[in-house]
A and B are shown apart, each in its own frame.
Chain A
Amino acid sequence: MIVVALFALPYFVPNRFYLRLVNEMLIYGLLAMSLDVLLGYTGLLSFMHTSYLGIAAYIVGLFLKFVCPSSLWLAFLVGLVGTGVIALVVGWVQVRTGGLAFALLTLAFGMMYFTVVWKWYGVTGGDDGLMGVPHPDITLGPWTLANSGDSNGIYYLSLLIVMLCFVVTRRIIRSPFGAVLESIRENEERASFVGINVRFYKLLGWMLACLLAGVAGVLFILFRGYIGPTTMDAFAGAGVLMMVLLGGMGTLWGPLVGAGLFIYIQDYISTMTEHWELFLGLVVILLVLFMPRGVAGLSDLLRRGGKE
């Protein structure tokens, strides 16, 4: 029913602003879901998961702007391969450690990407960001369906791709591979005793999470046509973490809901106050203290309450 509602949305919402808001929710939902693969299923914490959205967005932005402005799917491929290569190198270093050191490394590498993007004025545009990225047409084989600059076109593209990613990821998580990831989350030592190559599977989990974040990044740049360094700063990283917490870790659908709520609240609060940081911090603290399982935890509670 939700899917039908989402498909019908452009016909019922006259205001382009709300359509774009839902579009942003979808993209950040995908990002939050990708962090959930890492945090909720593999038990690894990444503080700066927006980095990989940002990296993909910058790569695609630069590709569209300077190499080939017309081909959407080629840009998609370039963005994912580029993100994958960076994630592979960094992940290879990171999986050597576990738990705490892993989390600290994601923070350090995230800050490194941020510094590079922020200071490398000649390529990334520094503070100003990457502006005027062209919008390629959305094509399927020989047919041109819409332009990605059109808000309906990019909305349907985002919706389809996010749904596809959700279904595929759920399939992967429910496969034996997903069970291996969960065994690593539960107890790394025992997992290695039964013959699981822990480092290898951690790296696979990491790659899956980063590639999904990369898909979100490609959609992001197509949707916005602009990216600046603040998209990848520590604050944005905390935002994604909060989406996952808000929705509930380890459920996949929870973070999608969490992202929707987060974007809505952010949009609402930031019009009222400039001290959004204060609220974000406070909400994260309260969530961890009192509602560690998020919205998913609440719905479990309701379901159990109904049965009894």
Chain B
Amino acid sequence: MQTLISSGADIVFNSLVLGGVFLIVAIGLNIIYGLSRVMNLAHGSLYALGAYFGFTIVGSGLNFFIALLIAPIVVGVFGLLLERVLIAPMRERPMIYTLILTYGLMFFLDGLIKYLWGNETRFIELPAFLNQTLTVGSISYPSYRLATLFGVAGIMGGLSLLLGKTKIGTTMRAASNIPEMVSVLGVNMKLVHMGGFVLGCVLAGLAGVLAGPLFTVYPIMGHEMLISSFVVIVIGGLGSLRGAVLAAFLIGAVQTLAEFFITDFAMVVVYMMMAVILVFMPRGLLGEGKFE
């Protein structure tokens, strides 16, 4: 009974943590898509880049929280560069070109990561007070994982304040729903696209640093996260932010449960679920394009 409770609690918390990380990555991808209809296939690699920057910053003796602050900013600046040089010129061409371009970018960034940091698995050192286990009754749980949950809640809170209460957020939501009208009203759509892309990249970088200590840092971490966040946004509805929240925790739970019971084929279950949902609801759980 004791072990049943504690492994049950483990599954619940692990699902939440996994879902939370999925959520931060996927919502970045979704904001970019919702604002500029660009599907960035290099998004997972930006997440990996964030984790590696975090590793380097912590490795150079700085505090983990400094890494949590700086790494996303670096990824954001890098994202700005990418948007200006590669993504923006693709806007007049059919969508397929953007997809292929960012796919190439994904391999380029992965190659770059292997070139700069090598193939080995890396670990991000945590400050001592985060690197312990909390015990309540018969349930014990690593404190960093709990902290991640608060981190995810904080980021989502900040994001909903930004989108819901500020002028920038209102403009972004409007630009996602009726772009023509917003641009007629005199808003510079180039800036909106750019801002959305950078915001998405910052979120990816942030998720990378947060996830680094959880799942370790390795070159193909971006691929796995990319696929998972696709599943999340396809199930939730492309461009729908609430759908992403719902789908992220759903996938987090399904994947954690599947890994608990059938280790090797866990992802197969997730893909199957996606296929089934798409057959019955081709536009995802909450429909496409609900940017709120």
Which residues on A are within 8 Å of B, measured CB to CB?
A: 39, 43, 45, 47, 90, 93, 96-97, 99-101, 103-105, 107-109, 111-112, 115-116, 119, 234-235, 238, 241-242, 245, 275-285, 287-289, 292
Which residues in window 36-85 of B have CB below 8 A to A? 39
B234→A104 contact, CB < 8 A: yes
A112→B111 contact, CB < 8 A: no
B108 at the interface (CB under 8 A from A): yes
B129 at the interface (CB under 8 A from A): no
Contacts A100-B39, A285-B108 given; indicate if A105 touches B267 (C-beta within 8 A): no
Q: Which of B20-28, B142-150, B274-282 contacts A (4 or more CB under 8 A)?
A: B274-282
Bound together, the chains give a CA A115 to CA B271 distance in angstroms of 11
B271→A109 contact, CB < 8 A: yes
Ordered by A's residue number, 7 sampled pairs between the chains whose C-beta atoms are within 8 Å are: A39-B96, A99-B95, A108-B227, A245-B100, A277-B111, A281-B104, A288-B100
- Chain B interface residue bracket vs A: 35 or more
Query: Of the candidates B93, B99, B114, B279, which one forms a contact with A275 in the assembled complex, judged by CB atoms under 8 Å apart?
Result: B114
Interface of A is mostly: helix
The chain B residue sitting closest to A279, CB to CB, is: B111
What are the residues of chain B within 8 A of A43 when measuring CB–CB?
Answer: 96
CB distance from B203 to the nearest CB of A (A): 19
A103→B231 contact, CB < 8 A: no
B104→A288 contact, CB < 8 A: yes
Bound together, the chains give a CA A281 to CA B45 distance in angstroms of 12
What are the residues of chain A within 8 A of B267 when measuring CB–CB?
Answer: 111-112, 115
The chain A residue sitting closest to B224, CB to CB, is: A111
A278→B111 contact, CB < 8 A: yes
B227→A281 contact, CB < 8 A: no
B105 at the interface (CB under 8 A from A): yes
CB distance from B233 to the nearest CB of A (A): 8
B101 at the interface (CB under 8 A from A): yes
A108→B274 contact, CB < 8 A: yes
B107→A277 contact, CB < 8 A: yes
Which residues on B are within 8 Å of A, measured CB to CB?
A: 39, 86, 89-90, 93, 95-97, 99-101, 103-112, 114-115, 223, 227, 230-231, 234, 238, 264-265, 267-268, 271-272, 274-275, 278-279, 282
Bound together, the chains give a CA A159 to CA B265 distance in angstroms of 39
Bound together, the chains give a CA A45 to CA B227 distance in angstroms of 16
B271→A111 contact, CB < 8 A: yes
What are the residues of chain A within 8 A of B223 when measuring CB–CB?
Answer: 234
Bound together, the chains give a CA A283 to CA B265 distance in angstroms of 34
Bound together, the chains give a CA A115 to CA B262 distance in angstroms of 13
Contacts A45-B96, A278-B115 given; indicate if A97 touches B110 (C-beta within 8 A): no
Query: Of the candidates B106, B238, B275, which one forms a contact with A93 in the assembled complex, judged by CB atoms under 8 Å apart?
Result: B275
Contacts A104-B234, A107-B227, A115-B267 given; indicate if A238 touches B104 (C-beta within 8 A): yes
CB distance from A105 to the nearest CB of B (A): 7
B103→A241 contact, CB < 8 A: yes
B278→A93 contact, CB < 8 A: yes
CB distance from A203 to the nearest CB of B (A): 14
Query: Of the candidates A100, A119, A292, which one forms a contact with B264 in the assembled complex, judged by CB atoms under 8 Å apart?
Result: A119
Contacts A285-B101, A288-B104 given; indicate if A104 touches B230 (C-beta within 8 A): yes
B271→A281 contact, CB < 8 A: no
What are the residues of chain A within 8 A of B112 when measuring CB–CB?
Answer: 278
CB distance from B242 to the nearest CB of A (A): 18
What are the residues of chain A within 8 A of B108 when measuring CB–CB?
Answer: 277-278, 280-282, 284-285
